[in-house]
Structure 1
Amino acid sequence: MFGQSLSSGIDIDDNGYQDVAVGAFLSDMAVVLRTRPVIQVKASLALPPQIDQLETLCREHKTPTVCLNVTVCFKLQYNLTSDLLHKPSFPHRFYFHGNGSSNSTSGRVRARLGQVTCATHVAYQRKDVRDIFTPVKFEVSYSHRETNTHKASFKTFPPLKPILQQSKGHQNTVTNQVQASANTNQLPANANTNQTSFVRSCSLVNCSTNMQLSAQLVLPDQQQYFALGSGQAIMLKTSILNSGDDAFLPRLTLCFPNNIHYIKVLQNQNNVVSCDVTQEVNSTTAGVDCSVTSLLIAAHSQLNINFLLDVNQNSTPGDIIIHVNTSSDNYEKEEYLHDNSISLLLPLKYGVNVNIHGFVSPTSFVFGDEDNTPVDCYAERFNYTYKVLNSGPSRSLDTVVDISLPKILTPYRHRLLQVVDWQSSQGTCSISDTTVSVIEDCDVPEASFIQNLIFFFSSTSTRRMFCGRSDELCEWLECRLGNLEAGRDAFIQLEIRLNPAVLLQAPGRLGVMKLESTAMMSNPRESPHTILTSKQPVAQVVVEALFTQKPSTTVKLFIIVVSLVLGLMILAALIWCLWKAGFFKREFQKKEEEEEFKRDSWDYVPKLDKRQSTA
């Protein structure tokens, strides 16, 4: 049976195609392989190469409208869809009159073998089309028309449905194909000649844009760095200049580490710019994607966008790179791309402003009074208070304050000051053990009589007792205060005892002795990550030691003896002068004068009558 069916060309179902019957020997069954038509469709879709919006060839509702003819050539039923490349946020730019506002239409054609059948549809352009940069793409999908199958009798076979043969890579669809335009300068360089584009008046070859980006960081107080902890924001100024043709759907993208936070766009009252923050999960970078609501930066126009950014106050110091990039949906020549991206350097540093203030009570004392001899050799007591204030804007890391006090009266080795107790509101303090060794004995050698005498009669002068950097002749107290936040302060209190007898050693003592105590911040220092906004903080506290004007016992005795000797010498000299002047020879002359002026007695009878003659 199989050979007979091949040789005789049997058509069992009378559909015009040869069938094959296969049977088995000594079997009452046979298998019939029926043949059905296989249709191979070669479809095409033709559109004009360009769309000129100034040519209104059609009338829609008595209004001139831009339109184009869409020719579909194939032989079956089809669905025609317009503007496949339209932006998702925009409506379709073309519609078909027959379906109102729909962007698709359908139709049927009767095709014959070997013949081309075409159908033409008019696609109307919408009035509010703003996207004239994206090419226009139409698509046709076709299929074999479904036919009603009549119920066949039991003596005949039911008819078979024809099938469409699909070529490789196609799903019974076809897109528009056009011939290349003669005016190639009006098409972008990356335009597909199988797509229809809008006519544009371009100044550059291939309608290239030329986006020129400039950006600048404006830091608080016009500083060259950003001070961590200041709580202030950063302004990023950007400017986009389009020196080429129109740029459709311009975009501006920021990329920075996730310790930078986007706040808003400044001076964006009319929502000219719309921005969205993007950050991937477990990513150390964040981004901001901004688009222009006007959808277009016209040729030779400029757009300024200012951003307000914030910095995480717990960030570590260092340099941060902020990347700024601009682009659009239009073609831009490669030689114009070099100024589409900018990388800005943002230095993050600690801005430290630490001030130290010192106080002492009492501020002066009198020494050298022998009438007030104390029992304890360290008779004078002082309370020192130092206030360490961080005015910010950043925290002061590992703050260390060194306090120095004169330990001895140079060149003698007896201890002058003794630190009895110290306290700090935060951190710890310790006394350095690298200073010079001193004599702790209270028996201080006294000055000689001659030295005391010379010192008493000498003019009053002043001696400053101060400490230099790393001075071994001073007592050093190191206070590690740790991290000092901006706006916080710390207090250091010292209790000091002083031995006044040390100041009486000569030579070296003077009438006024100024004991200077210095508190200096040794850490943090100026470094690549730390900026001291003011000079190295230093506080000086002065205690004045005033020598008493009372003379010592030996000086008193010397003054008394000298005074007596001088008095006697002066008296002797005076007597000698009087003697030389004859003061002691006037006694005989006085007696003669007394006899001359001597009167008679008050007796009634005179003893001598002067009127009587003596003869």
Structure 2
Amino acid sequence: MGSRQYGARFGTAVANVGDLNMDGYEDIAVGAPYEGMGAVYIYLGDKSGIVFEPVQKILAENIDPRLKGFGISFSNGADIDGNHYNDVAVGAFESGHAVVLRGQPIITFQPHLTTSTSRISLKTSNFSSRACLSYAGSYVPNTVDAIVSMTVDLAYGRAQFVSEDLKTTNTHIYEAKIRSTEPHCKDFQIAIKPGTKDPTRPIDVVMKYEIINNSKADTSSAGRQQSSTEDFCMHCPVVDARQPTHVTKRVAFETGCKRDICEPDLIANARFIGIKEEFVLGEQPTLQMEVEVMNVGEPAFLTRAILSIPRVTPLVRIPPTCQDATDKHTTGTHTLVCDFGNPLERNYTINVLLNAQDVPVNTNNLSFTINATSVGNEVNAYNNYKELLLPIRIHADMTIAGLPSQDQVVYVAQNKSIRKDLMLNHTFEVWNLGPSKVETAMIEIEIPHQLEGPNGAQIFMQVFEPQLLMQSSPGTVTCEPEEPFYYYKLEGSSKGDVTIEVDPTAFAEDDYQESSVVKYSIVSKRSVNPEVLREESEYPPSSPNFRPPPSNRTLYLSCSNQKVDCFKVKCFAGPFTPNKSRAIINFKLKPILETVEPALDKQDIILFSSRGKITLLRIITSRTINLACIRQPITGWQEESQVLGSHAVNVLKTMDNIQHNNHIVMVGFFRRKEKEELEALTKVCIRDCKEVA
């Protein structure tokens, strides 16, 4: 009770001041002299005793700022001015004042608000209302001036008052002289706006009223009184503070529901048409989402579904019943608001078409949400919300193919001398058969270039800086050796960076120039699997007609030979658009046959093999193997000097590795009886390509 302010000394004085409001029950006054400059609380009585909430709080500063210690003492209630309402004297001991609080007549308003109907249909265009007001009280004047404020459907604006001059408004305010003996009434015409869509909320007609022309009293909870210098109006009434100040009449729509407000039970659901478990990027350009809202309760009015759609799958077109409500400050999602019926009695379905061509390849899943709403009181709100999580998968068929400069190289050394101008081209081509786009692929290439001999490791293959090209793509190809390595350079050129842009014409067969060493460092020997043949079999040959030469007559210069060190380079290329983009990596190679000669012994054929491997930088579903090899034989006979064979590209639809092979037959160190025997080396398949899942 009181303000509960520490040190206020609430209850220092308590007095029975009589029946202040003429309701037949005595009331009390309680003082709190140290609450500010002092305060007095008025508590009314009723049939059960004293009402704990004060009906009035009177502060000293609202009476006279000179008062101090107001509420230290009270007199008994007594009518000192003859208006039949008790007055009370209050002491303010610190300032030495006594204040008389005078009682005024109290009236109780008696409003009566009616409408011409209690229920209307959706086709109803208007109805009428009557507002009547009177008052009652003991020893009150015969008339009072009041101000009445009428409002209709102020919250939703579906109805308006229509005046005699056909003006419409939601609020009508007027003054009236009210008599105690008979009510004052006023009639109103109310029009319902055409196209009203929300019939679940009743139309509220509200009548508010208050007394006017009573400047002598304040009926607020603070109870501010006029100062002592003003004349007191002992017959001016005040309104009973316990009585309501407004009355409401509701006119409900006929909705088919048990109550004025319907209780629907909405269930949101969604699925992607034609997709069972996951969506593979690139398989189809669009996504079609079916959205359904079911209602298993009472009719649902103004039913809507709010769809949240990732921005990476924009709408192809907006359904007729929907509108874009995307917040311009939101970066991650589109918001679509769709009307699902007014009312929705059973279920409603729409299809939303989305563009799936711009989904980033690093996307793991896409989240779509549906939230169904209506203006009724939802029975089970938990099933109004549905999240649809679509897993995204990348299915790519990456292919690597090899293009040697010749299937086999044949040369003649009539004076048993070794040619020093022999040049080879090993070209790796990488592309994607789809269906998904691949952002970046790592291409690892190994080229044999050193041979371990009695005098240590010696270089037998000079490697020149690769020529790089990305065709039909805005991307690039970059290559870098795994360990410190300086490329050889053609005479008349300078060493450039490892990563270069190459014109497509750079791959034309040109006249090779004599090479010289710029600088090199020995690449450490790789650890190899002792099962050489099995490892080589994992790399398919560069030509399906390739047949290995007889092993007892062949020196294998490949990365599977433990005596061979390989130069390793890593290349990064992308993006790869299915059936469009192509990465090309071309190595110019110059064999140093003098280095190989001591290792030949009784062998008369050299098989040189380089190989490449693809690794995707993100785990995806792939239908390819990422190992392959290019084999290129170099051979010759004594009868003539010529180059046999032609450039060939082997497109391996189930392989992503390629190996280049060069058969080298050293003229002057062997004899070959038949030219046809040499040509047959490249015409028979070594084995079927081994498919790796």
Q: Which TM bucket (shorter chain)?
A: 0.5 to 0.7
Higher helix share: 1
Could you tell me which residue of structure 2 aligns to residue 495 of structure 1? 589
Could you tell me which residue of structure 1 aligns to residue 105 of structure 2? 37
Return closer, same or farther for 1:39/1:309 CA change in 2, 3 Å cut-off: farther
Q: Matches of residues 135-154 of structure 1 in structure 2 within 5 Å?
A: 135-146=202-213
Give the conservation status (yes or no) of the 8 Å contact 2:398–2:431.
yes
Residue correspondences, number: 465
1:95 paired with 2:161, answer yes
Report how far residue 526 of structure 1 moved. 6.8
Matches of 1:141 and 1:216 in 2, distance apart? 53
Task: For 2:589, give the aligned amino acid.
Answer: E
Report how far residue 468 of structure 1 moved. 8.9
Tell which structure's C-alpha radius of gyration is larger: 1
Task: For 1:225, give the aligned amino acid.
Answer: F
Report how far residue 499 of structure 1 moved. 2.6
Return closer, same or farther for 1:350/1:480 CA change in 2, 3 Å cut-off: farther
1:372 paired with 2:415, answer yes
Q: Matches of residues 391-470 of structure 1 in structure 2 within 5 Å?
A: 394-397=437-440, 399-405=442-448, 417-423=460-466, 425=468, 426-430=478-482, 433-435=524-526, 462-463=549-550
SS at match of 2:369: strand
1:266 paired with 2:317, answer yes
Matches of 2:232 and 2:439 in 1, distance apart? 95
SS at match of 1:543: strand
Could you tell me which residue of structure 2 aligns to residue 175 of structure 1? 248
Give the conservation status (yes or no) of the 8 Å contact 2:443–2:612.
no
Return closer, same or farther for 1:96/1:148 CA change in 2, 3 Å cut-off: farther
Q: Matches of residues 22-421 of structure 1 in structure 2 within 5 Å?
A: 34-41=102-109, 43=111, 45=113, 50-53=118-121, 67=127, 69=129, 72=132, 75=135, 76-86=146-156, 91-93=157-159, 95-96=161-162, 100=166, 101-106=168-173, 108=176, 110-112=178-180, 121=188, 123-126=190-193, 128-146=195-213, 157=231, 159=233, 161-167=236-242, 172-176=245-249, 195-201=250-256, 207-217=262-272, 224-225=278-279, 227=281, 234-242=287-295, 244-255=297-308, 260-261=311-312, 263-264=314-315, 266=317, 268=319, 271-278=320-327, 286=333, 288-292=335-339, 296-308=342-354, 316-334=362-380, 337=381, 339-348=383-392, 354-366=398-410, 371-374=414-417, 380-389=422-431, 394-397=437-440, 399-405=442-448, 417-421=460-464
Give the conservation status (yes or no) of the 8 Å contact 1:227–1:349.
yes
Matches of 2:277 and 2:587 in 1, distance apart? 37
Give the conservation status (yes or no) of the 8 Å contact 1:390–1:484.
no
Report how far residue 276 of structure 1 moved. 0.5
Q: Deviations over 1:241-288 (max 9, x none)?
A: 44555432222223466xx357446253xx42122113767xx86461
Task: For 1:541, give the aligned amino acid.
Answer: I
Task: For 2:625, give the aligned amino acid.
Answer: Q
Return closer, same or farther for 1:507/1:326 CA change in 2, 3 Å cut-off: farther
Matches of 1:405 and 1:119 in 2, distance apart? 107
Q: Deviations over 1:224-254 (max 9, x none)?
A: 33549x9966554423344555432222223
Report how far residue 325 of structure 1 moved. 1.8
The gaps in structure 1 that reach 5 residues or longer are: 57-64, 150-155, 177-194, 438-459, 557-615
| TM-score (ref. length: structure 1) | 0.59
Report how far residue 137 of structure 1 moved. 1.9
The gaps in structure 2 that reach 5 residues or longer are: 1-74, 136-145, 217-229, 469-477, 484-522, 529-546, 640-665, 672-693
SS at match of 1:371: coil
Could you tell me which residue of structure 1 aligns to residue 633 of structure 2? 544
Q: Deviations over 1:431-472 (max 9, x none)?
A: 7633379xxxxxxxxxxxxxxxxxxxxxx9944878999664
Matches of 2:608 and 2:629 in 1, distance apart? 10
Give the conservation status (yes or no) of the 8 Å contact 2:115–2:127.
no
Return closer, same or farther for 1:217/1:555 CA change in 2, 3 Å cut-off: closer
Report how far residue 81 of structure 1 moved. 1.1
Matches of 1:386 and 1:252 in 2, distance apart? 54
Give the conservation status (yes or no) of the 8 Å contact 1:44–1:175.
no
Report how far residue 140 of structure 1 moved. 1.7
Matches of 1:261 and 1:68 in 2, distance apart? 55
Task: For 1:80, give the aligned amino acid.
Answer: M
Percent of pairs with identical residues: 15
Task: For 2:417, give the aligned amino acid.
Answer: P
Report how far residue 209 of structure 1 moved. 3.2
Return closer, same or farther for 1:302/1:409 CA change in 2, 3 Å cut-off: same
